[in-house]
């Protein structure tokens, strides 16, 4: 019941963040200039927004995992979109796989692929 309701992703450039996340994940966006804010729509729950920062934090405080069907394939898309691969696809025994990446402006996020149910 107490799940995340909204996730904010830091970025130094909203326009570039929209381009990157739109290309890699197919997310859509709604700009709210009166609030100096951009909502992101993931097609599921939670959705979120971009937090405009002057510079990216040197060390991530919280890692957000984005669910995907294929971590390895998505990491290739991220690299093609000028993201940086921090950790390649790694197995978590009997649960699934993860990979860690950074956006072009240095925001660190992760991917999660659940193992098929037996």
Strands 108-114 and 65-67: parallel
User: Over the stretch 51-110, which tens digit does the pLDDT of each residue have?
Assistant: 989 998 888 778 899 999 999 999 999 999 999 999 999 999 889 999 999 999 999 999
* More reliable by pLDDT, 47 or 72: 72
Residue 54 lies in a domain: yes
Containing domain of residue 33, as a range? 6-114
Residue 79's domain is classified under what CATH number? 3.10.180.10
Out of 1-10, 37-46, 53-62, 98-107, the most confident range is: 98-107
Tokens 């909204």 sit at which residue?
6
| Tally of domains in the chain | 1
**CB-based contact 43:80 (threshold 8 Å):** no
Instruction: Tell me which H or E stretch contains 21.
Output: helix 14-25
């Amino acid at each position: 019941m107490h799940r995340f309701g909204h996730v904010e992703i830091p970025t130094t450039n909203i326009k570039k963040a929209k381009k990157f996340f739109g290309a890699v994940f197919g997310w859509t966006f709604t700009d709210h200039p009166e609030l100096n804010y951009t909502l992101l729509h993931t097609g599921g729950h939670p959705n979120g927004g971009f937090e405009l920062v002057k510079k990216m934090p040197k060390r991530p405080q919280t890692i957000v995992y984005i669910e995907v069907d294929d971590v390895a394939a998505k990491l290739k898309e991220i690299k093609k979109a000028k993201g940086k691969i921090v950790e390649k696809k790694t197995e978590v025994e009997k649960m699934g796989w993860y990979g860690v990446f950074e956006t072009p402006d240095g925001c660190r996020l992760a991917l999660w692929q659940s193992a098929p149910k037996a």
